[in-house]
Amino acid sequence: MLGRRVKKGVDNEMKALGRHVLSELYGCEFAALNDVERVQKVMVEAALQAGAEVREVAFHKFSPQGVSGVVVISESHLAIHTWPELGYAAVDVFTCGDRVDPWNACRYIVEGFKAGSYSATEYKRGMMEQERKAV
Amino acid sequence: MLGRRVKKGVDNEMKALGRHVLSELYGCEFAALNDVERVQKVMVEAALQAGAEVREVAFHKFSPQGVSGVVVISESHLAIHTWPELGYAAVDVFTCGDRVDPWNACRYIVEGFKAGSYSATEYKRGMMEQERKAV
């Protein structure tokens, strides 16, 4: 978090409403990425393990292969799109507030699909100016 | 798209499987961001206007305010999380393939919520090495 003076004599800080982690999973098994029930289970468990509250679940199996799905949580969402034929899955985990850490969900997903390798980057969402609380 | 030689004598190129646009909408009206039916309608229409095929829809209204929702499309997803009290919405549009342009959906959403200002950035997802087709 960056702190900066925005008004003379008033010490404010910029704070993000949410954290959005985009992750690329490579080297996953075809079967794991093509099983819609398994994909949904991993994503819902990732949300729960990270301490999120699940609100809505929507998953879809494509023909001949591939799964897309989203878990809407009180703290935002988890989404996945799989390319089983490439061993690849695009994952994103968006959480707002300080209670749930998107990286915990991301780690669970990487392990859940036994990814051979992965990359992940966090983006701050909704940077807002907030008055700094007195210490 | 970047082109580079990865094997001696073989001219390959790196290509992204998908494009993921993260957009921040500011200066939206409270009522527009707090009406779950309207939010869902804007998001589904954005998908259709961009030429996407809608597969699943999952929206949730929070108390006392705020809406979260996702439209799963054949080409990936559109998601939104609103903070009506701040006039802010976090939007992301993920499309795979060349047929649907995520920026068309993004523009529709910005107009749909009459955002006073917005920012948006595109991230390439699933960079894969592909053999360049002979011309």
B33-79 pLDDT, tens per residue?
999 999 999 999 999 999 999 999 999 999 999 999 999 999 999 99
3-state secondary structure of A59: strand
Q: Closest CB to B60: pick one of A22, A56, A94.
A: A56
The count of other CB atoms within 10 Å of the CB of residue A4 is 9
> DSSP letters along A86-122, please?
GTEEEEEEEEESSSS-HHHHHHHHHHHTT-SEEEEEE
pLDDT in tens, A98-107: 999 999 999 9
Q: Taking CA atoms, what residue in B is nearest to A23?
A: B125
pLDDT in tens, A57-101: 999 999 999 999 999 999 999 999 999 999 999 999 999 999 999
Residue A124 has pLDDT above 60, yes or no: yes
Cα–Cα–Cα angle for B37, B85, A125, rounded to 5 degrees: 90
Q: Does B118 touch chain A (CB under 8 A)?
A: no
Cβ <8 Å between B17 and A125: no
Query: Any alpha helices (H) in chain B, and if so which ranges?
Result: 30-34, 36-49, 102-112
Establish whether B96 is a catalytic residue. yes
Q: Does B76 touch chain A (CB under 8 A)?
A: yes
Establish whether B60 is a catalytic residue. no
Q: What is the mean pLDDT of chain A?
A: 91
Question: In this structure, what DSSP letter does residue B85 have?
Answer: G
pLDDT in tens, B89-106: 999 999 999 999 999 999
Provide the ipTM.
Answer: 0.88
A110 near A28, Cβ under 8 Å? no
Alpha carbon distance B48, B52 (integer Å): 5
Find chain A residues with C-beta within 8 A of B62's C-beta.
74
How close B13 gets to chain A, by Cα (Å)?
16
